[in-house]
Amino acid sequence: MHPFMQFTKSRPHLLLGTILALPAFLLNAQTTQAAQWKWVDAQGVVHYSDVPPPATVPARNILQRPAQTIAPLQATASAASSSAAPASTKQQKATDELEKKIAEKKSADQAAQEQAKLQQQQQEALLNQQNCLQAQKQLQILDSGQRMVQIDAQGQRSIMDDAERAAEHARIAGLIAQYCR
């Protein structure tokens, strides 16, 4: 077992105290970081505040003023803004290049989709043309008056009578109407 686990098992109240004290410590650290004024009062207590100390506090007891914290911030801000200008220009160029690449990819994808659609339409047109020619040939043979033989499911041949010829003629005429546009 890990030594820390042994320690926390034997002293759970210390672990609970640590867990409860941690948020208070973090809150105090944030408060002191946000304060702009720091002074010592007549009793020797250090105060942190975002408002100036009372007029009764002598100037020698004021440890930190807003001007002391703002001046370094202004210096770093001016340095950051001078270095941020080239960075923002670089970032703008990178953004523009990225947008350009996205637009190019989008147009290339769209062109590929249009090309695929065109190829599919051409294949369908070719298939329709082949089906049309085949249906026209079947209709010519049917209209020639020759005897037509059909093979049934058992493999037996049977000669088409006039009713079967008319039904076949109607079926082939429907195929021609469908494929020969």
Domain boundaries, position 153: 113-181
Task: Assess if residue 14 is contained within a domain.
Answer: no
From the CA atom positions of the chain, what is the Rg in Å? 46
The Cβ of residue 172 has, within 10 Å, a number of other Cβ atoms equal to 20
Both tokens of 130, joined, read 């082949």
User: With 80 as the cut, is the pLDDT of residue 22 above it?
Assistant: no
Task: Assess if residue 129 is contained within a domain.
Answer: yes
Spatial separation of the C-alpha atoms in residues 160 and 145, rounded to whole Å: 11
Task: Assess if residue 70 is contained within a domain.
Answer: no
What is the number of domains present in the chain? 1
- Model pTM above 0.95: no
pLDDT digits (tens, 9 = 90+) for 44-73: 999 998 888 998 889 889 888 885 444 444
Task: Assess if residue 97 is contained within a domain.
Answer: no
E-only strand ranges, the chain: 37-40, 46-49, 62-64, 149-151, 157-159
Task: Assess if residue 73 is contained within a domain.
Answer: no
Task: Assess if residue 21 is contained within a domain.
Answer: no
Written as one string, the DSSP assignment of 109-154 is HHHHHHHHHHHHHHHHHHHHHHHHHHHHHHHHHHHTT---EEE-TT
Task: Assess if residue 144 is contained within a domain.
Answer: yes
pLDDT digits (tens, 9 = 90+) for 61-108: 988 888 544 444 454 445 545 555 566 788 888 899 999 999 999 999
